[in-house]
Structure 1
Amino acid sequence: MSVLTALFVVGILCVRSHCAPTPQKTPLSIIFPGEIRSNMSDVEMAEKYLHNFGYLALEQGSDSHVSIRKALAHMQRKLGLHETGDLDQETMDAMRAPRCGVPDIGNFNTFEGELKWDHNDITYRVQNYSPDLDPEVIDDAFVRAFDVWSQVTPLTFTRIYNGVPDIDILFGSDNHGDPYPFDGKDGLLAHAYPPGPGVQGDAHFDDDEFWTLGTGVVVKTRFGNADGALCNFPFIFESQSYSTCTSAGRSDGLPWCGTTSNYDQDKKYGFCPSELLYTYGGNSNGEPCVFPFTFLGDSYSGCTKEGRSDGYRWCSTTANYDTDGKYAFCPNRGYSLFLVAAHEFGHALGLEHSDIQDALMYPMYKYISDFQLHSDDVQGIQYLYGPKQGPGPKPPGPTKKPSTTTTKKPTTTTTTASTTTTTASIDPVDPTQDACNVKVFDAIAELQGDLHFFKDGLYWKVPAKSQGPPKAPLRIADTWPALPDNIDTAFQDPATKKIFFFAGRKFWQYTGSSVLGPRGIEKLGLDKDVQAVMGAIPRNNGKVLLFNGEKYWRMDVKAQTVDKDYPKNTDEEFAGVPTDFHDVFLYEGKYHFCQDRFFWRMTWRKQVDRVGYIKYDLLRCPEH
């Protein structure tokens, strides 16, 4: 595995100074409105840091401190710095760096005994969310962070919504309910406790931080014509590929992105976070920067760090800061919630900090785009839990699959349709067509006991007891000749075994190899403004729920008409799932809502109990 570098440090960062050195033309020091200036010297700050992170402690039976020089040398050695024992610039920079809140030396409240869980199926609960990211993005970051550790150990991680979890996750500020308060923006990013009962095993994230995924790749746009959709990277503009926001094609310099893979074709776009659009913090309520602006008599045409000791980029939100005192901070890249969470979950599993700077468990935060777990992290976690057994897919969730019979031919109440199917005699397509390479499927459905994945005229089947991905695909036209290459959704009625397919404003009904259709969905009673049915959940009472983004309908399968009092709002009945899904289906007795590469699994009680990967958890592709 290549070097992983999500570097965080457990401990309290130095108390940061909110005032900053002023431009050299004036000896005056600026204190921004609403901020408090710190008078702490470098030595005082260093002493506080060394004490907070376990390097400096009171000698037993004495009121005097151990040698600061000795403590500095210990810290430098522990963090892989040049060991001088002096409070040099490299050491000061390290003390100012954002880090994890767990001490590098000594106990963190209850770091004693065997720091590991006595079971492998670890449960977790998300108590609340940061306003910086959409809940589904946060859920995905946590799923991927846990997956870092499950890929190399026998551990599995299951989200619960009730009861007592092993790992409780929350966002909090300052004094947030435990003995270790956060320190505001930057500094301490998060902390976690080692395995055990009560607060032990829990992970806390500082809500004063600006949480992102660290790269700007997942960017929620503003304005444009995509209703705040996320950027899609890479995207095509004027036949060129862009992997970041760009100002190409604009005379005003505003950064923008395509929200689909091809702007030339779809014309969907939004504007990326920019000081020309909005700001945060300060005293201007998110107003955009005004350029140029005057500060201490000088003119600035962009964001600046002048006047601040903390290195934050800021701007004036009026033309003259000197007279108006209005300012705000310019958008930054923030901290990768995924990387910080992966580090903190390492603590929650029993790992301490590493002195290897490229290891995930190194205390300081640093973003690296090509994330791979370092061998030091692997050796540490496998020492506690052992290596992962076998190459198989991740274990299933807590609910077992309902029993199904796949060898029995389906029966039907319709006398005009054959009860035989044609799939058994269909020859597969070129086996090099690998389902694991498909980014987003047209539709997914459980038909005749097998999970089917449809894409561009092909489909793959994953049998119920399969331990790996499907082999070669089959052609839709060979099995269901009447269907188009691209379908939107499908379902099988449990009672009659009839299979319904939807594509655009048309639908087909198959009974064995006999087909009825295509017919228009207006025959079902759907409004003319419904352009497609994007998902279907069959019920055992002869009903099926048909979804189209924000709305859903209940249809009587026998009468083939939607019931009165419909449509209803999806987010009211199915809270916690994205409304911009591209498919909904029933599998293993639970509802699955798909968005991009991910799915949200919901119980019949309408509780989301898992967010997972379509590729690994449903298609069962191997994890690399």
Structure 2
Amino acid sequence: MKKGLYVVLMFVLLCATGAHPAPTQSKGVDFLARFGYIDYNPRLGNIMSQHDLSAAVMNFQRFAGLEQTGQLDHTTLEKMDSPRCGNRDVVGSDAAARKKRYALQGSKWQKKHLTYKIASHTTDISRRDTENAINKAFKVWEAESGLTFRQVRSSKADIEIKFAEKAHGDGDPFDGPSKTLAHAFFPQFGGDAHFDEAEKWAVSADKGVSLFIVAAHEFGHSLGLSHSDVNQALMAPFYNPNYDGLHDDDIRAIRILYGSPSDKHRPQSSTTPPRTTRKPRPGITRQTTTTKTPPVGACNGRFDAITMVRNGTTFAFKGDKFWKLNDQGMEPGYPKSTKKIWGLSGKVDASLSFGAYTDLFQGDVIHRYINGIPMHGYPKRISEVYKGIPSNLDTAFVWSGNGKVYFVKGDKYWRYNPSLRKSDNGYPRPLSVWKGLPERLDAALKWKDRTYFFKNGYYWRFDDERVEVAQSLKTPYPRRSDAWWLGCTDNTLKSSPEETGIGDKNEDVNDGDGNGASSRFNTVPRAMLSTLLMFIVSMLLC
């Protein structure tokens, strides 16, 4: 055979070693795909050279502390079948090539005092033992960083913890005893941690799976740490019943994100003038930043895609960057690289959050995520997941008027039926049915039970009852996306909601707009309002 001959991955068998209890060769390839070592999907007809597959095996062997043979041998396959965390090992474009050390996922909490809630308990140990183990696991990180943690029982918490079996509502089902023990979501996707109730949880490792050890590892993910390829580190991916404290690798990682324990007790400088308080305007949550000039491109409101995920976080995409948005504008430190955080190169055509899933569309393929973690088996063809829906979409959204899913391309739109898993009969229809919208769209999303449409740096809110673009006497539509969604004016970030005129996005109650505040910030030229009259037709959408 010629060197570098390409073969379909699923049929590559390297150094089979006879019968043994470890996974089969094909399961070894599946393992590499699931945990981020290779980008492989047989549905897309992926092929890879034998050299590249061997390199992926060596990367896993390095990560697992094995001899780097590049072969799916007995030892390697056996290690793959060991109990471990369900999160990916390779997160981001440069993770596979980095030196031996900790890895940071790319997101962090914007505060250092976090709350957690145990939403459900295991039946293996008492509630008191469960809570003690969870509290002890958080204390591991609190002792070596600037963070503090507090348990709450009734109010909403930053990190929610639950025990569940198999499919449990997040699209990433557990696989039974002694395999993936638990998984957790990174800060920008909510930080929740789920534990497989099929495991035999115990207070000590000699009586079962140590809840304390696994929880301490998972909470590392909840705080923004990825898996480490330092085998002695707590953040190494495989379960280590002999854990005896955080490794220096773990400590360096958490301190890069949240500082050292001394930061919690550092006194305020005596030269700092006393702070004075002013009574805030009703409906406004004051948020001050010292950043007056944003990084290049930070205030580009010409979104390619925008979506709000299940935990209420909103993400907007433009080119190879994305923003995380809050009620006052963009979160500090954004935009960030889409490739580094989401693992995607190039432009995102459209995005859709529906149920537990977040879908990102590129060309003729769809990438699916569960709270920011890529779902195994993706990407897939759009036509395979959403039958009857075209490629190269302009936007996708859930309409707040009826809760159904819509796709838009050019001057046409499709309504999708999740129950039948195909486009409804009678579609596509002309986009002009949506009264008052421009001829083509860039992005759309459902945000706090209202639907918003974006085009060329401006946005429109849709009135579901009148089935047309909403009317506003204070600040007519369309409005500037950079000002009302990113918190920018004249390409400059303002230091408070009062300066931007944004404030709380629910402030303008008389207008009925869920995303705007001040009547004194009108950025739209009067001539642009004529676009609202160009597409009026009389047709219902339901």
TM-score tier after normalising by the smaller chain length: 0.3 to 0.5
Q: Under a length normalisation based on structure 2, what TM-score does the superposition of the two structures give? A: 0.41
Task: Point out which structure has higher relative CO (alpha carbons under 8 A, 6+ apart).
Answer: 1
Greater per-residue helix proportion: 2
Q: Under a length normalisation based on structure 1, what TM-score does the superposition of the two structures give? A: 0.36
Quick check: which has more Rg, 1 or 2? 1
